[in-house]
Structure 1
């Protein structure tokens, strides 16, 4: 299965090595590099990834402290030069522990373990995915019941998310990654780190951007496979209506 990941480590050489190894595995997509916990927290607030490579010893905030700060962390592969943290790390439900220096064979084994865990999760019932024709969206004080057909697109905007409707919009503190998990993939598609669009709202498209009426939305490089799937679904819907 395709997997997305980010690297969180204060050592540039670690980023270079992981990127090199990952480039040899065709189902991996690298979405981000963070060099401290604050960068990582900001990144994960805007971008959902399947798993992270996480160093333990980082300035100011350690890898363990960073994990404790996350309410819904992705899968985690620890990368560390210190074997004495291995036992403690498993208290955080990590997937694997890579002791630096590690070779490609050991790297690939850890990635396969994450893939197996995520595949098992996908096959389990998912109570958070919307199976009705509406969702509830929380703003600062209220929960709004919104029909799925009313949503045109969702945009991440700093610490907030803007849900653009056919008639108005809602500003929410929910993350765009929360909406990506909640909304059905056959109707909504992530096309950019900041945008999630409704299939039926797309009126024009090219390889690099989508048009939704009077709004133009960019297509991120790493999301182009999502857009190809989106276009295939549009074509399929069009043919079935003929």
Structure 2
């Protein structure tokens, strides 16, 4: 098994590329092999050099990042890094590894990189003070009070117009929220895997 994951960064903002590169440098199992300002530059690179993991912005000149990924027959693992949460559903449909909202903290970046590593056959890694996905939780407002819900207790979440139904092992909560707002909250705390659960249930109930 290879010891490093070959990574590429595609973002039209130099400052954003610099920040991601500095994060990659801190993670021993990641190796940055190329930085590109648009997907066309990446396309030329990929003609000669395969990569394992792509850190990808969405809104860029000529072609969006996700539109480009959709054209690839055998795309690398993709982690989207964007300032816009409205593309999260499209990212899910393209089976990306994770969706990071700018500005990205190192801890959040590390969790996404670790998940990519696991999908490529690397063992799970941790950093100080970090909790696994199973130990994560969310707070929702129920009857004007905040209620803590553990990830492990979630059975399903689905949308009913402007309301969200959260079914847990011990209760059912109905909160005032849209599906997109719920997904945005989950993205912020690394519960991207739960989006699969939300969408599968919501589609069945349409």
How would you bin the TM-score normalised by the shorter chain? 0.5 to 0.7
* Aligned CA-pair RMSD: 1.1
Deviations 1:130-184 (A, max 9, x none): xxxxxxxxxxxxxxxxxxxxxxxxxxxxxxxxxxxxxxxxxxxxxxxxxxxxxxx
SS of equivalent residue, structure 2 residue 121: helix
SS of equivalent residue, structure 1 residue 61: coil
Q: Does 1:79 align with 2:81?
A: yes
Correspondence for 1:2: 4
Correspondence for 2:19: 17
1:32 to 26, 31, 34: 34
For residue 46 of structure 1, report the CA deviation from its aligned partner: 1.1
> TM-score, normalised to structure 2's length?
0.57
For residue 90 of structure 1, report the CA deviation from its aligned partner: 0.7
For residue 23 of structure 1, report the CA deviation from its aligned partner: 1.0
Q: Name which one, 1 or 2, has greater alpha-carbon Rg.
A: 1
Structure 1, unaligned stretches of length 5 or more?
Answer: 121-242
Correspondence for 2:57: 55
> TM-score, normalised to structure 1's length?
0.48
Partner Cα separation in structure 1 for residue 24 and residue 81 of structure 2:
14
For residue 22 of structure 1, report the CA deviation from its aligned partner: 1.0
Correspondence for 2:113: 111
SS of equivalent residue, structure 2 residue 120: helix
SS of equivalent residue, structure 2 residue 32: strand
SS of equivalent residue, structure 2 residue 44: helix
Q: Does 1:44 align with 2:77?
A: no
What does 1:195-234 correspond to in 2, within 5 Å? none
Correspondence for 1:160: none
For residue 64 of structure 1, report the CA deviation from its aligned partner: 1.6
